[in-house]
Amino acid sequence: MTRRVRPSWITSAIALLGSCIAASVVQATDSAYPSRPVRLIVAFAPGGGVDATARIITPKLSESMGQNWIVDNRTGAAGNIASEIVARANPDGYTVLLALDTQLTANPSLYDLPFNVEKNLQPVVILAISDQIAVVHPGVAARTLKEFIALAKQKPGAFRHGSAGVGSSNHLAAELFKRVTGIDMVHVPYKGAGPALTAILAGEIQMNVSSTASTIGFIKD
Protein backbone atom coordinates (compact mmCIF):
# COMPACT_ATOMS: atom_id res chain seq x y z
CA MET A 1 0.00 0.00 0.00
CA THR A 2 2.99 2.30 -0.14
CA ARG A 3 3.24 4.96 -2.78
CA ARG A 4 6.20 7.18 -3.58
CA VAL A 5 5.70 10.75 -2.41
CA ARG A 6 6.51 13.52 -4.88
CA PRO A 7 8.39 16.31 -3.08
CA SER A 8 6.35 18.90 -4.99
CA TRP A 9 3.26 17.73 -3.12
CA ILE A 10 4.66 18.97 0.17
CA THR A 11 4.51 22.71 -0.43
CA SER A 12 2.36 24.14 2.37
CA ALA A 13 3.32 25.29 5.84
CA ILE A 14 1.19 22.54 7.34
CA ALA A 15 0.39 19.25 5.63
CA LEU A 16 -1.84 16.40 6.73
CA LEU A 17 -0.40 12.96 6.07
CA GLY A 18 -1.42 9.37 6.68
CA SER A 19 0.78 6.35 7.20
CA CYS A 20 1.34 4.78 3.77
CA ILE A 21 -2.29 5.26 2.74
CA ALA A 22 -4.51 7.29 0.45
CA ALA A 23 -8.22 7.82 0.86
CA SER A 24 -8.97 5.49 -2.04
CA VAL A 25 -6.93 2.70 -0.42
CA VAL A 26 -8.83 3.07 2.85
CA GLN A 27 -12.18 2.89 1.07
CA ALA A 28 -11.10 -0.20 -0.81
CA THR A 29 -9.88 -2.07 2.27
CA ASP A 30 -12.44 -0.87 4.81
CA SER A 31 -15.82 0.11 3.39
CA ALA A 32 -17.00 1.17 6.85
CA TYR A 33 -13.98 3.43 7.50
CA PRO A 34 -13.64 4.72 10.07
CA SER A 35 -15.13 1.97 12.23
CA ARG A 36 -13.14 3.04 15.31
CA PRO A 37 -11.45 6.22 16.62
CA VAL A 38 -8.66 7.77 14.55
CA ARG A 39 -5.49 9.00 16.26
CA LEU A 40 -4.16 12.33 14.98
CA ILE A 41 -0.48 12.55 15.90
CA VAL A 42 0.57 16.18 16.40
CA ALA A 43 4.31 16.75 16.23
CA PHE A 44 4.45 19.74 18.56
CA ALA A 45 3.31 20.77 22.02
CA PRO A 46 -0.02 22.47 22.81
CA GLY A 47 -0.12 26.22 22.26
CA GLY A 48 1.46 26.36 18.81
CA GLY A 49 -0.08 26.74 15.39
CA VAL A 50 0.01 23.03 14.51
CA ASP A 51 -1.76 22.04 17.73
CA ALA A 52 -4.30 24.85 17.32
CA THR A 53 -5.07 23.58 13.82
CA ALA A 54 -5.60 20.07 15.18
CA ARG A 55 -8.01 21.34 17.85
CA ILE A 56 -10.02 23.17 15.19
CA ILE A 57 -10.37 20.33 12.70
CA THR A 58 -10.83 17.27 14.95
CA PRO A 59 -14.35 18.15 16.19
CA LYS A 60 -15.47 18.63 12.58
CA LEU A 61 -13.81 15.39 11.46
CA SER A 62 -15.43 13.51 14.34
CA GLU A 63 -18.82 14.95 13.48
CA SER A 64 -18.63 14.35 9.74
CA MET A 65 -17.09 10.86 9.91
CA GLY A 66 -19.02 9.49 12.88
CA GLN A 67 -15.91 8.47 14.84
CA ASN A 68 -13.73 10.36 17.30
CA TRP A 69 -10.51 11.91 16.06
CA ILE A 70 -8.18 11.98 19.07
CA VAL A 71 -5.31 14.48 19.26
CA ASP A 72 -2.09 12.88 20.49
CA ASN A 73 0.80 15.33 21.03
CA ARG A 74 4.15 13.58 20.52
CA THR A 75 6.81 16.25 20.80
CA GLY A 76 10.56 16.33 20.34
CA ALA A 77 13.33 16.12 17.74
CA ALA A 78 11.74 18.77 15.49
CA GLY A 79 8.77 16.50 14.83
CA ASN A 80 10.76 13.36 14.03
CA ILE A 81 9.33 11.40 16.97
CA ALA A 82 5.79 11.95 15.72
CA SER A 83 6.77 11.20 12.14
CA GLU A 84 8.36 7.89 13.13
CA ILE A 85 5.29 6.83 15.09
CA VAL A 86 3.13 7.27 12.00
CA ALA A 87 5.72 5.84 9.62
CA ARG A 88 5.85 2.62 11.67
CA ALA A 89 2.09 2.41 12.31
CA ASN A 90 -0.18 -0.10 10.60
CA PRO A 91 -1.11 1.56 7.25
CA ASP A 92 -4.85 1.28 7.85
CA GLY A 93 -5.83 4.95 8.07
CA TYR A 94 -6.21 5.06 11.84
CA THR A 95 -2.89 6.78 12.60
CA VAL A 96 -2.56 10.18 10.92
CA LEU A 97 0.14 12.82 11.20
CA LEU A 98 -0.30 16.59 11.34
CA ALA A 99 3.07 18.02 10.36
CA LEU A 100 4.95 21.08 9.19
CA ASP A 101 6.40 21.00 5.69
CA THR A 102 9.98 21.39 6.97
CA GLN A 103 9.44 18.35 9.18
CA LEU A 104 9.18 16.29 6.01
CA THR A 105 11.39 18.19 3.57
CA ALA A 106 14.30 19.60 5.60
CA ASN A 107 14.57 17.01 8.37
CA PRO A 108 15.80 14.16 6.12
CA SER A 109 18.83 16.36 5.36
CA LEU A 110 19.33 17.48 8.97
CA TYR A 111 18.88 14.14 10.75
CA ASP A 112 19.69 10.47 10.23
CA LEU A 113 16.07 9.34 10.23
CA PRO A 114 15.16 5.71 10.99
CA PHE A 115 12.44 5.79 8.32
CA ASN A 116 12.01 7.02 4.75
CA VAL A 117 9.67 9.98 4.36
CA GLU A 118 8.95 9.28 0.69
CA LYS A 119 8.32 5.55 1.16
CA ASN A 120 6.69 5.42 4.60
CA LEU A 121 4.39 8.46 4.59
CA GLN A 122 1.56 9.17 2.16
CA PRO A 123 0.32 12.74 1.70
CA VAL A 124 -3.44 13.21 1.97
CA VAL A 125 -4.18 16.93 1.83
CA ILE A 126 -2.62 20.38 2.13
CA LEU A 127 -4.50 21.62 5.16
CA ALA A 128 -3.35 25.17 5.92
CA ILE A 129 -0.79 27.83 5.11
CA SER A 130 0.45 30.13 7.85
CA ASP A 131 2.70 33.19 7.86
CA GLN A 132 5.72 33.42 10.13
CA ILE A 133 6.13 36.49 12.32
CA ALA A 134 9.09 37.72 14.39
CA VAL A 135 8.27 38.95 17.89
CA VAL A 136 10.44 40.31 20.71
CA HIS A 137 10.00 40.57 24.45
CA PRO A 138 8.64 43.98 25.58
CA GLY A 139 11.84 44.48 27.57
CA VAL A 140 13.88 44.72 24.38
CA ALA A 141 14.55 48.38 23.53
CA ALA A 142 13.33 48.08 19.94
CA ARG A 143 9.93 48.74 18.42
CA THR A 144 10.74 48.19 14.76
CA LEU A 145 12.66 45.57 12.82
CA LYS A 146 15.31 48.13 11.89
CA GLU A 147 15.81 49.06 15.55
CA PHE A 148 16.09 45.41 16.60
CA ILE A 149 18.69 44.61 13.94
CA ALA A 150 20.76 47.65 14.97
CA LEU A 151 20.53 46.70 18.65
CA ALA A 152 21.48 43.07 17.99
CA LYS A 153 24.52 44.19 16.00
CA GLN A 154 25.61 46.31 18.94
CA LYS A 155 25.33 43.28 21.26
CA PRO A 156 26.43 40.17 19.33
CA GLY A 157 25.44 36.97 21.14
CA ALA A 158 23.53 38.83 23.86
CA PHE A 159 20.05 37.91 22.60
CA ARG A 160 18.48 34.45 22.61
CA HIS A 161 15.86 33.27 20.13
CA GLY A 162 13.60 30.26 20.58
CA SER A 163 12.12 27.71 18.22
CA ALA A 164 9.96 24.60 18.12
CA GLY A 165 13.12 22.51 17.81
CA VAL A 166 16.24 22.13 15.71
CA GLY A 167 15.23 22.05 12.06
CA SER A 168 11.72 23.37 12.68
CA SER A 169 10.35 25.98 10.29
CA ASN A 170 10.71 28.82 12.79
CA HIS A 171 14.29 27.75 13.57
CA LEU A 172 15.22 27.78 9.89
CA ALA A 173 13.43 31.11 9.41
CA ALA A 174 15.37 32.65 12.30
CA GLU A 175 18.68 31.28 11.01
CA LEU A 176 17.94 32.76 7.58
CA PHE A 177 17.08 36.08 9.26
CA LYS A 178 20.40 36.02 11.12
CA ARG A 179 22.36 35.26 7.97
CA VAL A 180 20.66 37.95 5.86
CA THR A 181 21.01 40.65 8.53
CA GLY A 182 24.44 39.61 9.82
CA ILE A 183 23.36 39.50 13.47
CA ASP A 184 24.43 36.93 16.05
CA MET A 185 21.88 35.37 18.43
CA VAL A 186 21.90 32.20 20.53
CA HIS A 187 19.37 29.55 19.49
CA VAL A 188 17.33 27.89 22.26
CA PRO A 189 15.23 24.92 20.97
CA TYR A 190 11.98 23.91 22.68
CA LYS A 191 9.52 21.05 22.12
CA GLY A 192 7.05 23.21 20.25
CA ALA A 193 6.02 26.74 19.40
CA GLY A 194 3.85 26.89 22.52
CA PRO A 195 6.73 26.42 24.99
CA ALA A 196 8.83 28.88 22.98
CA LEU A 197 6.09 31.50 23.27
CA THR A 198 5.83 30.84 27.00
CA ALA A 199 9.58 31.37 27.23
CA ILE A 200 9.50 34.73 25.48
CA LEU A 201 6.60 35.90 27.64
CA ALA A 202 8.66 34.95 30.71
CA GLY A 203 11.74 36.74 29.38
CA GLU A 204 13.83 33.56 29.03
CA ILE A 205 14.44 34.47 25.38
CA GLN A 206 14.28 37.84 23.68
CA MET A 207 13.15 36.98 20.16
CA ASN A 208 11.03 34.31 18.52
CA VAL A 209 9.77 33.48 15.04
CA SER A 210 6.41 31.73 15.11
CA SER A 211 3.16 31.38 13.20
CA THR A 212 0.77 34.30 13.18
CA ALA A 213 -1.97 31.98 14.45
CA SER A 214 -0.10 31.21 17.67
CA THR A 215 1.07 34.76 18.35
CA ILE A 216 -1.76 37.06 17.27
CA GLY A 217 -3.57 36.84 20.60
CA PHE A 218 -0.48 37.98 22.52
CA ILE A 219 0.18 40.73 19.98
CA LYS A 220 -3.32 42.11 20.41
CA ASP A 221 -2.93 42.04 24.21
Element (H, E) at 162: strand 160-163
Question: How many CB atoms are located within 10 Å of the residue 187 CB?
Answer: 14
**Residue-level pLDDT at 66:** 94
What pLDDT score was predicted for residue 96? 94
| pTM given for the model | 0.67
The CA distances from residue 1 to 29, 45, 188, in Å, are 10, 30, 40
Show pLDDT as tens, one digit a residue, over the chain (221 residues): 223 333 332 323 233 333 333 333 344 456 688 999 999 999 888 877 788 889 999 999 999 999 999 999 998 887 889 999 999 999 899 999 998 887 888 888 888 999 999 889 988 888 888 788 999 999 999 999 999 999 999 999 999 999 988 878 888 899 999 999 999 999 999 888 888 999 999 999 999 998 887 888 888 88
DSSP state of 59: H
Instruction: Look up the CATH superfamily of 7-128.
Output: Bordetella uptake gene, domain 1 (3.40.190.150)
What CATH fold (topology level) applies to the domain 132-220? D-Maltodextrin-Binding Protein; domain 2 (3.40.190)
Cα 20 to Cα 77: distance, rounded to the nearest angstrom: 22
Distance CA(214)–CA(59), nearest Å, equals: 19
| pLDDT of the residue at 26 | 45
The CA distance from 53 to 214, in Å, is 10
- Indicate where the chain has its CATH 3.40.190.10 domain(s): 132-220
What does the pLDDT read at residue 29? 54
For the chain, residues classed under CATH 3.40.190.150 are 7-128
How far is the CA of 191 from the CAs of 23, 100, 115, 168, 207, in angstroms?
A: 31, 14, 21, 10, 16
- Counting every residue written for the chain, the total comes to 221
The C-alpha atoms of residue 30 and residue 202 are separated, in whole angstroms, by: 49
DSSP, residue by residue, 86-142: HHTS-SSSSEEEEEEHHHHHTHHHHS--SS-HHHH-EEEEEEE---EEEEE-TTSS-
